[in-house]
Chains A and B, each alone.
Chain A
């Protein structure tokens, strides 16, 4: 764990009384005065001077100029003074490394002082000074202090190992400190054990494969014993460490749970949450029919409820975690609805979280109470809270069918209040209720329509328009209502425009005779006057459909909509599992995996819940995927197939901008509308004979006169746009750094042309882009986003286009990429879908990257490991390729490949044929082994690739070809 601690205040310093006298105002000669005082012969004066220096440092003045003078005061017999000098050193040593060396002698001497307090102080301070020369001298004293007779010194030295490791990991390993640290886990003193565990966990976190903690039943037993004896903080270190262990079977799991449960009675909420984490994780392994499983479930509820009596910040952490726990194991808190009722004086963040959990716990049994509460909340004054309460009522209706009617009438009551935002929220949720229970509550439409004028939020307007379109046949003046929106069409937001387009087409299909004019108006607004590609494309599709095959149009546009699910914002199961493993931490509060917000967590494996294993079943390494135990990198599945939907993702870009905190807003069904059209509708679109059938819709009799002229040309282009989107431009895999190609032609992006390539420079993956403005107006506000992709590529920073891009201007940008983004398997594997935004619009394109940019620098495998791995990978995973027309000899090939991090491990020559054995490591830890056969005089090479993830072979082969031929 890493954190600094600060006290802030909101007034400036004045000065009176006691220590505060040291904070006098700055004068010009102050430094000189202090210098003189520091060098004074009088001890008291010296001490006063050091205090003044520290006071200046505290208020942020730079007093580093006094370094030598302060260090001179270090050799003192006054403990208070010594501590102050040490404090000064910690702050300034880094800026004065050469002078810091002056302090080394005193440090080393202090490490041997008779007083353990001084020994510990010295070793603690030395570890905080991040200066190489100091760390070198730290090794010997540290070694002694780790074996000190006084536990106070040992516990301090244990932490010091973690500090040193953070500065110089190699040094710690070379000096054997890790082994000493491991030995301290068996120390007789509980505090030493706890700190050793904390230090080892910290080190292991940055070295996930080090197997440092080496958790096994024996060491677990030691930890569980220490758990009873150490301080509350030590208990947390140990519990957090235990949570990384995966028991071998359900019996071991149960016995650990039994020894951890008493911690649920600890007064410290953090101890309780860490214990809950261990129990939630290990419970996964217990058979559900086991009596103990039921007992454990019952034991978890009371402590979770008690957490709600803690301080508000801790309540917040608890509630965010309870939100996860309720999703994972709803049975634990199903009878505890009432404890989540909101109190008037709860802080708003607590109120909102409680509301979330109330919805999750709502069931037929408690719905009456829940609704009464929600109605109460909906009349409060805090806008966010009220909105959420109104939405919650809608979600209850969807979740508990028996309550739907009551919910709808409650919502109608709320609409009568005429409070603007209440009305808008109510309409948004009523739309969802309509979708869930079609043909049931349409009688309320009239009431909704009365409020049409008061809707000023896009989401509410879109919802209302959807309702009008969906029920057009029952609303007499549907055409008038929709027409009224059409006037300001171009001022509406995209979601309203899209919805209006669809609604009017629906209306037309339902009442063709009276609405021809209206539909033509909207189609022309969408296709000709709009520069939004989504809108234009949808417009063209409708237009084309209506003009060619109105029956198909009906099938597409008025198709049955998929039912909306009861739980709208459930966390995806694998993420939920990971978050359960992080209970109590920031990840559990953000509901995001640590990799999403911790820099440099690349390569850290995602934590998983253990799988259930019976006592008699296999005991072979079940701890794959836990931070402590991952044995072979290949064992962790790196390419995670996922349900991800590109269109959904891409649409999300403009529909719901990513929010920084809090759960995503409930799915409103608007996105569904979009996906319906492009996803579900696509088949029928392509299957239907476009342009074939002349069967014109009855209502379109008048259209043809206009259509052909305005239709033919744009339709081709429009549809072409749409279907080309995924295809991208074929990327030639020419060189190590492929030449730049045009990824996004200007004509598809309102004048923005993007070309680029990928490169790996000094271990950093970069996307190198050239942006050209071929439009007439200035472009600003550039941003870039990637869709999920096979290797988790993601921009490591914002797209740095700092100045506006004027017409005919070109800018070259280099965007560093990280590989810690969300992962989804793409086809082809190296396909990358990119969205670029500027002040004009959002544009999408896809490109393919040479997989060689993912080859990492430490990809050279040990010979022995190579042999074993080669044998170990099943032959089914081997693929063979031919590289034709290559005129390099084997050595030249080898060195050329090395430039791309393809390492030759061994070379063998058999009958004039050179066999090169090579290894490659991908950024996600996948190893690829290769055998390259080069026959003298034969320009055709043969290459065999073996990999645990054979999907990558094709891409790797392409890289070979590209590298060797350029």
Chain B
């Protein structure tokens, strides 16, 4: 796809000048810089032309570019650009050339609302949808007013929401990031957890979430229970941060619908859930032989689903042959990997796979990096950290009863094992 882009015309799709004193034509320098960097196989998210600085991100084939001539807050800019992508996706399902063109009036309206003079304003798409709609409005009757939520301290939830049945669904999702050296020692092992909410609650409910948080249990003197030491926790805007800082209470008025309430990170070294041993032997000009052993290192009552083990092969390999003790293999030449799929992989099991590829007699001169083996999997009803939701208290002044539902799942994150 990279060579493809050089031949097509690049131009600005839509733009907004938040500071009247800037020359919008400066952006014409941007695409040439991008193309030049691509040719040199370079990449930098921040590029300069003269006194103009371009901060950009790429979404599909769209560049979202912010241009400034001042010492702008770069972290804010990138974070805002990603937020815009989110807003556009909420509005138009997908952010792509077509959706922008098909909705350019709304896009302009949104751009006018989410930022003023370079200061980000309201970027919560649920709230924006209350007053920037995709239908035209008559001013006198029924024109929307800015919802009080926009400027409220609770800027993420509007008042007067009503449901017949009040429920909260919680997903506790843990991703395991793993980096293993070619010699088989674990270089990094990290768990990144996330608690996602789907809130179906009326009114302005107050929620309190209890976890088996080690620090909390120490404060309250219950050290015997099994606890989890959260290394770093990040919360949604709705959580009262000072309260958490003081007594580790997670209290909040939730946004309506789906949101990520919190994420956390743990550095505790756990046994890698799926362990791979591999031998990749390359006989130049003739063949590559691959032997892979996969072992599940969790309790046998759990099962990993949709396990996919991607093993790199040279890009000029051909005539694949596979043999597996379970599951099936597929050669994906576009990615230069052989993918070994195992639908269901119970704990404490070990499977084997062998692959054989031919190599052309004329070796390609292109140097290939030693790509790692990567693994995808998910293990339902299980958290690798042992985190538990002890309670979720829901209090609303109307006094309704609401049920919380909790699901746990562990999945692969960035799971890499280097090869020789």
Q: Which residues of A contact B (CB under 8 A)?
A: 1-13, 17-20, 22-23, 47, 51, 54-55, 58, 60, 76-84, 87, 90, 94, 115-118, 120, 124, 127-130, 150-152, 155-156, 159, 162-163, 166-167, 189-192, 195, 198-199, 202, 228-233, 236-237, 240, 259, 261-263, 265-270, 272-274, 302-303, 305-306, 309, 311-314, 316-318, 338-339, 341, 343-345, 347-349, 369, 372-373, 376, 379-382, 582, 584-589, 594, 597-599, 601, 660-661
Contact = CB atoms under 8 A, between A and B. Distances in A.
A961 to B, nearest CB: 39
A149 to B, nearest CB: 12
A3 B66 contact: yes
Given A1-B118, A8-B31, A302-B231, A240 B265 contact: no
A581 B135 CA distance: 46
B62 A130 contact: no
A585 to B, nearest CB: 5
The 7 A-B residue pairs whose C-beta atoms are closest, nearest first, are A302-B232, A262-B241, A3-B68, A270-B75, A594-B71, A233-B120, A151-B151
Contacts of B137: 78-80
Contacts of A381: 367-369
Interface string B87-126: 0000000000110111111001101100111111111000
Contact of B105 (A84, A155, A582): A84
Contacts of B43: 347-349
A709 B309 CA distance: 80
A83 B104 CA distance: 12
Interface stretch (B20-28, B295-303, B375-383, B385-393): B20-28
A130 B242 contact: no
A151 B21 CA distance: 27
Contacts of B275: none
- Residue of A5, A151, A265, A661 with most chain B CB atoms under a 10 A cut-off: A5
Given A9-B61, A265-B234, A302 B18 contact: no
B134 to A, nearest CB: 10
A5 B27 CA distance: 10
Given A163-B117, A270-B79, A586-B71, A265 B244 contact: yes
Interface stretch (B45-53, B196-204, B206-214, B318-326): B45-53
7 contacts: A5-B64, A6-B14, A84-B105, A159-B119, A190-B151, A270-B79, A601-B71
B176 to A, nearest CB: 13
A267 B237 contact: yes
Nearest to A236: B76
Nearest to B71: A594
Determine the interface band of chain B, counting residues with CB < 8 A from chain A. 35 or more
B158 interface: no
Given A8-B27, A233-B76, A129 B20 contact: yes
Given A265-B241, A317-B75, A349 B67 contact: no
- Residue of B48, B66, B77, B233 with most chain A CB atoms under a 10 A cut-off: B77
A231 B19 contact: no
Contacts of B12: 6-9, 60
Interface of B, helix, strand, loop or mixed by DSSP:
mixed
A44 to B, nearest CB: 10
A597 B49 CA distance: 11
Given A78-B138, A80-B105, A117-B146, A273 B75 contact: yes
A19 B66 contact: no
A8 B11 contact: yes
Contact of A5 (B18, B82, B119): B18
Contact of B131 (A22, A117, A151): A117
Contact of B139 (A9, A115, A155): A115
- Residue of A3, A81, A597, A599 with most chain B CB atoms under a 10 A cut-off: A3
Nearest to A192: B151
A84 B118 contact: no
B400 interface: no
Contacts of A597: 48, 51, 53, 71
A586 B42 contact: no
Given A6-B66, A191-B150, A343-B179, A18 B115 contact: no
B351 interface: no
Given A313-B45, A382-B369, A7 B13 contact: yes
A422 B261 CA distance: 48
B408 interface: no
B153 interface: yes
Interface stretch (B2-10, B163-171, B216-224, B281-289): B2-10
A19 B119 contact: no
Given A79-B136, A585-B73, 11 more contacts: A1-B72, A3-B55, A4-B67, A19-B102, A78-B136, A159-B119, A232-B237, A270-B80, A314-B78, A585-B71, A586-B46
